[in-house]
Amino acid sequence: MISWDLALALCHAGLRWAPVSGDRFRLLATGPGGDVYTVSDMTIEPHEFDTGVVLGFNGTTEWALDSVALEDALWHPLEGQLRDLLGGTFRALERTDAGYAVRTELLGTERRFPAADPADAYARALLDLVTASADD
């Protein structure tokens, strides 16, 4: 799972989340030390209303939570989701002495994003892509 700081940076850079079963998130109010929740068809379901998406906690042990607005949750995309979001810019995941690196190519320029684990390397590459897209 990617770090809180990378998840927050992706959110602030404009990465949007449409929750599906299996997605992981934390509540913004609890910060990086808060519990990690998983969207599930049985326990935590996204409900769409005219006012936005709400994550409903359905009869779980999280008794103090009934629901939370999507904008109050911080998505922690999984490694496969990050790779999918990189799309055609993704070139390779490489093992390095310090961990891993993701290579991407955007507009003919190859970039390399090192990190201790693969998910963070993918997240760094996606952050670069989202930021570059926002600058256009």
Give the per-residue SS3 of 1-36: CCCHHHHHHHHHHCCCCCCCCCCEEEEHHHHHHCCC
Which domain does 114 fall in, by range? Answer: 79-135
The domain boundary residue, chosen from 29, 58, 75: 75
The domain boundary residue, chosen from 54, 75, 96: 75
Do 31 and 69 lie in one domain? The reply is: yes
Do 93 and 46 lie in one domain? The reply is: no
The domain boundary residue, chosen from 51, 75, 99: 75
Do 26 and 49 lie in one domain? The reply is: yes
Do 22 and 68 lie in one domain? The reply is: yes
Do 69 and 90 lie in one domain? The reply is: no
Over its C-alpha atoms, the chain yields an Rg (Å, rounded) of: 16
- The answer as to whether 41 is a domain residue is yes
Closest of 91, 96, 98 to residue 129, by C-alpha: 91
Number of domains in the chain: 2
65-101 residue pLDDT tens: 567 788 999 999 999 999 999 999 999 999 999 999 9
18-75 residue pLDDT tens: 898 899 999 999 999 999 988 876 667 787 888 888 787 766 555 455 677 889 999 9
CATH number for 60: 2.30.30
